[in-house]
Amino acid sequence: MFERPVITAFRWVPDFAKGQVRDLRVRWALEEVGQPYDVRLVDGVTVKAAEHRRLQPFGQVPTYEEDGLSLCESGAILLHIARKWPGLLPADVQGRAHAEQWVFAAMTSVEPAIMDLALIDLFEADQPWSAARRPASLDRVRGRLQDLSNRLGDKLYLEGTFTAGDLMMTCALRGLGPSGLLDEYPNIAAYVARCEARPAFQRALAAQLADFDAEPVPA
Amino acid sequence: MFERPVITAFRWVPDFAKGQVRDLRVRWALEEVGQPYDVRLVDGVTVKAAEHRRLQPFGQVPTYEEDGLSLCESGAILLHIARKWPGLLPADVQGRAHAEQWVFAAMTSVEPAIMDLALIDLFEADQPWSAARRPASLDRVRGRLQDLSNRLGDKLYLEGTFTAGDLMMTCALRGLGPSGLLDEYPNIAAYVARCEARPAFQRALAAQLADFDAEPVPA
């Protein structure tokens, strides 16, 4: 009998990170393919301990374990799930390569720009250089969003039907948080809302939020 | 008859980018699997034009075209090549998932830290905040390198034998350039040297360098 996969997630995160931590991507993928899973919760200490680093050398979440396979990096876990169960990758070579293209575009062309802006707004907000660095960072984000908006056009999904690429792109775009930037690109805003409205996403988000404690473990 | 794949690369880049542009990753992969290819050179104008953006929505290189398939994003192109020809992915599910894990680890856990440091040293070097931002950025890079060094240990490659993951990790680490940081982690320095010594890498690097003009196209 196939055992349920086990993923790791944080027991507690600050409010701004709720609904953003990367186990959401794995939960969403598993919900899309209809595969139940179990969660092992970690905290800021156990995630950096040797036992967890055997699964995740950089001391991060998520990890993924099933029947003798352990895996880390949300992108790789997503592709593994998408290969193992139907629902996230087209069957043909071209459709599949294009879905993977959007997974990488989300994580390596779009997300780095968004993360730089988030770094400025969340972690370096009180630094003297924050205001000076922000305009160029914002320009980079807007450039990526405009390119994405042009490509998306009036399509429902990046390749017509929902794929792993839309899942990852939505998660990358959600990193914009409450910045209001999505409102400048109505077709992207509608696309993100469309993906977030999927029942699988709603279940995944609710599950991540439900797993958080109200307070961090005392140090 | 199978036509040779066509990739795009820049006709000219500044000296610091020579040997770093991402078409190197695709050239290296094609050299590893023994597949000849053709190159279409673009410049700073044509890479942003509508014709190129049909292949690459963000106006970047590389792109990849073969028999009716067009693809962008170096990570996705690498995985496509690795599936199409033997030599870059183990045949078993676990080995293949682990190779992909290292492709994503390289691009989403290691490279963003290295790119932030490169941004400070190359593009923001003359900004007033550059010196103040550098220590924290350097700490992030060292953290990733220490974690990678611990995982690599005395292995020749990340999963024992050379995979697409080593190819991408080497390219990410080469982004450190002449910073001297690799020297702090002798096993990583030896690993990068080992991967760079592969004949396929040497051919790919020589081909990228040979394609650069001495001067940019006049504006």
Inspect the interface and report whether the beta carbons of A132 and B128 lie closer than 8 Å.
Answer: yes
Nearest Cβ partner of A109 from B53, B73, B105?
A: B73
Residue A177 pLDDT class (50, 70, 90 cuts): confident
Q: Does B166 touch chain A (CB under 8 A)?
A: no
Here the CATH number for the domain that contains residue B46 is: 3.40.30.10
Inspect the interface and report whether the beta carbons of A53 and B147 lie closer than 8 Å.
Answer: yes
Give yes or no: residues B111 and B178 share one domain: yes
Inspect the interface and report whether the beta carbons of A100 and B116 lie closer than 8 Å.
Answer: no
Nearest Cβ partner of B73 from A73, A101, A151?
A: A101
In a domain, A214, yes or no: no
pLDDT digits (tens, 9 = 90+) for A190-216: 999 999 999 999 999 999 999 999 888
Q: Are B98 and B165 in contact (CB under 8 A)?
A: yes
In a domain, B218, yes or no: no
**Within 13 Å and on the Cβ side, how many CA atoms surround B52?**
20
B73 CB neighbours in chain A (<8 A) are: 100-101, 104-105, 108-109
Cis peptide before A186 (omega within 30 of 0): no
For A214, other C-beta atoms within 10 Å of its C-beta total 5
Question: What was the pLDDT predicted at A217?
Answer: 77
What token pair was written down for A203?
A: 């279940």
Give yes or no: residues B43 and B121 share one domain: no
In a domain, A147, yes or no: yes
Does residue A114 carry a pLDDT above 80?
yes
Nearest Cβ partner of B76 from A69, A104, A127?
A: A104
Give yes or no: residues B133 and B183 share one domain: yes
Q: Does B135 touch chain A (CB under 8 A)?
A: no
Give yes or no: residues B102 and B194 share one domain: yes
Give yes or no: residues A101 and A190 share one domain: yes
Domain with A163, as residue range(s), is: 93-199
What token pair was written down for A92?
A: 């043909």
Distance CA A11, CA A22 (A): 13
Q: Does A49 touch chain B (CB under 8 A)?
A: no
Mean pLDDT, residues A13-29 taken together: 96
For B34, other C-beta atoms within 10 Å of its C-beta total 10
Question: What was the pLDDT predicted at A1?
Answer: 58
Q: Does B171 touch chain A (CB under 8 A)?
A: no
Name the closest residue on chain B to residue A76, using Cα atoms.
B101
Give yes or no: residues B116 and B158 share one domain: yes
What token pair was written down for A139?
A: 């320009």
Rounded to two decimals, the pTM is 0.97
Name the domain count of chain B: 2
DSSP A25-74: HHHHHHHHHT---EEEEE-TTGGGSHHHHTT-TTS-S-EEEETTEEEE-H
Give yes or no: residues A69 and A101 share one domain: no
pLDDT digits (tens, 9 = 90+) for B81-99: 999 999 999 999 999 999 9
In a domain, B216, yes or no: no
Give yes or no: residues A97 and A51 share one domain: no
DSSP B101-132: HHHHIIIIIIHHHHHHHHIIIIISTTSTTHHH
Mean pLDDT, residues B154-171 taken together: 97
Nearest Cβ partner of B72 from A93, A101, A128?
A: A101
Strand partners, A10: A42
Give yes or no: residues B107 and B133 share one domain: yes
In a domain, B219, yes or no: no
A115 CB neighbours in chain B (<8 A) are: 112
Residue A219 pLDDT class (50, 70, 90 cuts): low
DSSP A105-151: IIIIIIHHHHHHHHIIIIISTTSTTHHHHHHHHHHHHHHHHHHHHHH
Q: Which residues contact A73 (CB under 8 A, 6 or more apart)?
A: B101, B104, B105, B108, B109
Q: Which helix (H) or strand (E) holds B40?
A: strand B38-42
- How many contacts (CB atoms, under 8 Å) link A and B? 115
Nearest Cβ partner of B108 from A59, A97, A107?
A: A107
Here the CATH number for the domain that contains residue A97 is: 1.20.1050.10
